[in-house]
Amino acid sequence: MSQNIILSQVFEKINDYLKKDTLIDYKAPFELHDAINFSIAEKGVGEHEFLELIDKYLDYSVNTNHPQFLNQLYSGFNFPAFIGEIFTALANTSMYTYEVAPVATLIETEMIQLMNSYTGYKNGDGIFVSGGSNANLVAMFSARNQIAPESRHKGYDKNLKLRAFVNEHAHYSFANAANIIGIGTESLIKIKTDENGRMIPKELEQKIIASKKRGETPFFVGVTCATTLFGAYDPIDEIAEICQKYNVWLHADGSFGGSIILSSQHRYLLKGIEKTNSFAWNPHKLMNIPLICSALLVKTKGTLHHNIADVDADYLFHDLNLVEDLGKKSIQCGRRVDAVKLWFAWKYFGTAGYEKRIDNLMHLAELAEKIVIKRTKLELLTPRQSFTVCFRYLPEVDTDINHFNLLLREELRKTGKTLVNYGYINNILTLRLVITNGEMSPKDIALFFDNLLETALILEKNYSIEPIEKR
């Protein structure tokens, strides 16, 4: 069988997958091992078996394109971005030099310029990175190198006692970043939040003052633009004044909610973003670009170049001065061309089209919140901040409510009706409904609650304290 014939069959399988209305065909790990031969043999498989493996992979994977996939901070299918992903793999280049990636270099440069037009970084710069965690790391790395430039060559001087400050609900990647850049996780100070999960500026200033009195050096503040559980946005404008007062680098982690900047109606949640020093933005979330598509934007051109101590690689960088080689400002050498799929999608939808998609997500989240408030058997656990609705089901049976809601979530997952995640708010288990699929409609929200309430009633009738797996 020729590659052309296999390729035609592969595209048929892609088309079939896109028509698939199943969220998940749940299998336990031992069942998957029975269904798929995961081992690698000395002799390769034939074409027929190869195509069967594709079928099995797609059959048993979670269909994140499905409108009932509400589990993670990403979902949905983006046709033009998918096409961009295919041709990115086909061209198979790397983003270090214009020489090997001429079109991709100009595309990434254009995307960074466009994204900076929203942040207000008039002399800004940026780079595509391998995820929001990496963006937060490079931001903290940049802040360290600004306040202690000699650390690039001599290493971090611990006598500086560098201290970083973040929302107490900030992403764990900040702790990882503190570890990696050498200041240690104990140098990351978590700031109290209000009842809605937003950092309290007064608490931040008090912690900075106390840190300076101890002889420490506050150098970095990370605000969060949509926390993972509450979807809360820290008050950037107020915090920026504090950072300017104490000469502290201000980074905005918009890994989840940064794309709200595309909406003129809801952009107020990022008020003051132009006063930050850096901004992490993940188009693979609310813009529905296939994973991974993340960018770190910085306010001042030259910042990222300054991070790199020395580039002694004349075998790679030839200084032809035709255009900037992007590899010189990246901590990666080999770097995937992630900007191309974003470019294809933004070209396809346009700025107005993307604004409409973001507004639709907010509208659907508002609708979901109203349904929770209206239903007597549902309890809203915290006011909705943006794209996330935190609630729980109130069973009439006498039981541990946390345990019941966990069983409810697992029953929905394993039956393939819907996939929604959960977390804890002060030891109360909350179902976390997150709206990120730009193709969703009100009927999808209605179906989610129909599935949940129907399954909950069945569970109440047959309720047992035993885990679902044993029932």
Contact 62, 419 (CB under 8 A): yes
Quick check: 31 pLDDT over 70? yes
> What letter would DSSP give residue 231?
-
| List of residues 6+ apart from 183 with CB closer than 8 A | 144, 156, 162, 163, 164
Lowest average pLDDT, out of 62-71, 75-84, 113-122, 306-315, goes to 306-315
Domain extent for 52: 3-63
Domain boundary, last residue among 345, 369, 386: 345
Q: Is 467 contained in some domain?
A: no
Whether residue 327 is contained in a domain is answered as yes
pLDDT above 60 for 469: no
pLDDT tens by residue, 315-372: 566 666 678 888 888 998 899 999 999 999 999 999 999 999 999 999 999 999 999 9
- Examine residue 374 and state whether it is found in any structural domain, yes or no: no
Q: Which whole number is the average pLDDT over 402-427?
A: 96
The residue from 315, 345, 375 where one domain ends is 345
Nearest Cα neighbor of 342 from 7, 113, 124, 137 is 113
Q: Do 154 and 246 fall into the same domain?
A: yes
For residues 144 and 247, membership in a common domain is answered with yes
Q: What is the mean pLDDT of residues 286-312?
A: 90
Q: What is the pLDDT of residue 318?
A: 62
**Tally of domains in the chain:** 2
CA 26-68-36 angle, 5° bins: 25
- Same domain? 24 vs 151: no
**pLDDT beyond 80 at 40:** yes
Q: What is the mean pLDDT of the chain?
A: 93
Give me the pLDDT at residue 337, please: 95
Whether residue 288 is found in the same domain as residue 256: yes
> Across-strand partners of 425?
428
Q: Longest C-alpha distance within the chain, in Å? A: 74
Residue 466 scores a pLDDT above 60: no
- Predicted local distance difference test score (pLDDT) of residue 182: 94
| pLDDT > 90 fraction of the chain, expressed in percent and rounded | 82
The band of 308, judged by pLDDT with boundaries at 50, 70 and 90, is confident
Contact 191, 166 (CB under 8 A): yes
Same domain, 53 and 92: no
Q: What angle do CA 244, 197, 73 make, to 5 degrees?
A: 100
Pair (9, 116) in one structural domain = no
Residue 28 lies in a domain: yes
Is the confidence at residue 1, as pLDDT, over 60?
A: no
Q: Please list the residues that pair with 434 across neighbouring strands.
A: 388
Checking if the pLDDT of 216 tops 70, the result is yes
pLDDT of residue 449: 98
Question: Where does the pLDDT of residue 305 fall: very low under 50, low under 70, confident under 90, or very high at 90 and above?
Answer: confident
Q: What is the pLDDT of residue 311?
A: 60
40 and 95 part of one domain: no
pLDDT at position 323, please? Answer: 80
At 468 the pLDDT is 46
- The conformation of residue 271, written as its DSSP 8-state character, comes to T
With b for 16 or more beta-carbon neighbours within 10 A and e for fewer, the 96-114 pattern comes to: bbbeebeebbebbbebbee
Same domain (yes/no): 145, 262: yes
- The last residue of one of the domains, among 324, 345, 366, is 345
Residues 120 and 52 in one domain: no
Say if residue 11 is in the same domain as residue 45. Answer: yes
pLDDT band of 52, cuts 50, 70, 90: very high
- On whether residue 428 sits in a domain, the answer given is no
Q: How far apart are CA 246 and CA 234, in angstroms?
A: 19
Per-residue pLDDT at 165? 98
At residue 462, the pLDDT reads 85
Euclidean distance between CA atoms 192 and 200, whole angstroms? 6
Task: Give domain status of residue 98, yes or no.
Answer: yes
pLDDT at 444 over 90: yes
Q: Is there a single domain that holds both residue 168 and residue 263?
A: yes
Pairing of strands 249-254, 278-281: parallel
Residue 262 carries which DSSP code?
Answer: G
Residue 126 lies in a domain: yes
Nearest C-alpha neighbor of 211 from the set 249, 251, 162: 162
> Does residue 230 sit within a domain?
yes
Residue 55 confidence class, pLDDT cut points 50, 70, 90: very high
Q: Are residues 91 and 204 in the same domain?
A: yes
CA–CA separation, 6 and 49 (whole Å): 11
Count H helices and E strands in the chain, helices first: 14, 12
* CATH number for the domain harbouring residue 134: 3.40.640.10
Six-digit token pair at 1?
């069988």
pTM over 0.95: no
